[in-house]
Each structure stands twice: as C-alpha cells, then as structure tokens.
Amino acid sequence: MHRQMCWLSKSSGDGEKILYLQIAPGQPWRPHTTFPQFAVPDYQIPGGSKGWATYQKLLKAGWTLVPSARSSEFGGSVYAESTVQNQSL
C-alpha cells in the first residue's frame, strides 16, 4: 500500500515545515490535518513541529518518509488548503 510522509513548507519558501501525507501514487501531498483517520493531536510544546505526533504514529505503522527535496518525484503537487473567512455585514 502506498503511504508516504514528507515534511514540507506550508507556503512556498523556507517557512516552517509541517507533515504532509500522500496515500496513493500521483495524488497531491496534503497536510496531515486533512486526514482525520490518520492524524493525532500535536504535542503541546512551544515551537514543536506540526505533525510530529502523527509522524511517530505513522512511522510505527509502516509509512515511508520521503525527503523533502524528493517530494516532487512522488506526485509533484501540493494540495492547497482553502480558507474561508466569515465576514459580518
């Protein structure tokens, strides 16, 4: 079964990296939080990595870690989260 993890910047550039997951070949990388069936709550540590607890769980379950520099070889695209803000009139 194709289950991979990768640490990627949430925005383009060298920003803070969070855990992204890919569950099928050719699928885009998506933040771990978009997979409630796999994600676990982050540790409450100031400055801690977003997704570290999920990474530990999935690594034990046999998931593969892909180096960030090679993520484009395994699907190429990154899922863009859309955010909708409620605006009061």
N- to C-terminal Cα separation, the chain: 49
| Strands laid side by side in the 30-31 sheet | 30-31, 17-22, 4-9, 64-65
- The rounded mean pLDDT for the chain is 82
Q: What does pTM read for this prediction?
A: 0.77
pLDDT at 83 over 50: no
Mean pLDDT of all residues in 18-34: 93
Q: What pLDDT is stored for residue 26 in this prediction? A: 86
pLDDT at 39 over 80: yes
